[in-house]
Chains A and B, each alone.
Chain A
Amino acid sequence: NAGVTQTPKFQVLKTGQSMTLQCAQDMNHNSMYWYRQDPGMGLRLIYYSASEGTTDKGEVPNGYNVSRLNKREFSLRLESAAPSQTSVYFCASSETGGAYEQYFGPGTRLTVT
């Protein structure tokens, strides 16, 4: 099992450019999540999908859109990148419910100049 995979690993964008971060999991989990982590900070939830076909905003959704393409894949799109979106982005998945742990991907390091 690959677990949670993310592409790309690194990306540099100019202000105003758009891009999509891809995430896939092979554990048949219902729930998937996108977080961002700024230097020296904890993770903050951007969006989550409790199950296929549903998405909800987290703590910091502004400037992002998501698509739960199917049960395996959950993408994060930046329509018009801003320097404030420079961060490391982590995708995670889990079974739905408080008793279940989340599994995280390796992260995408994004720099917006």
Chain B
Amino acid sequence: DAKTTQPNSMESNEEEPVHLPCNHSTISGTDYIHWYRQLPSQGPEYVIHGLTSNVNNRMASLAIAEDRKSSTLILHRATLRDAAVYYCILRGAWMDSSYKLIFGSGTRLLVRP
């Protein structure tokens, strides 16, 4: 399974943008880039995913490098509720055995009031 590398922790001020990086240099052409987050004492929550193009939804934006070897999750205005562990995960296509999610250790985001 292709691996991802994320910083262990990051800090941000409330109402400022946050850019969470992820490196995935061994990504294959059929791997989707997924982001999940886990708030304290809760199950993981889907945030966003993409394949090649940048993606936006109500929670965040995902910027994918042209060579797809890295991506960045962007929270446009961090709130205290965004304090969580953020996981960047590669998920293979249907016929690929790696379509299941493999979680790494993620980035712990601290948001300062």
Contact = CB atoms under 8 A, between A and B. Distances in A.
Interface of A: 4, 33, 35, 41-45, 48, 50, 58-59, 90, 92, 96-99, 101-107
Given A101-B34, A104-B43, A96 B99 contact: yes
B10 interface: no
Interface of B: 30-32, 34, 36, 42-46, 49, 51, 87, 91-94, 96, 99-106
Contact of B51 (A58, A99, A101): A99
Nearest to A109: B41
Given A58-B100, A104-B44, 5 more contacts: A33-B101, A41-B105, A99-B51, A102-B36, A102-B44
B93 A97 contact: yes
A10 B113 CA distance: 33
B104 A98 contact: no
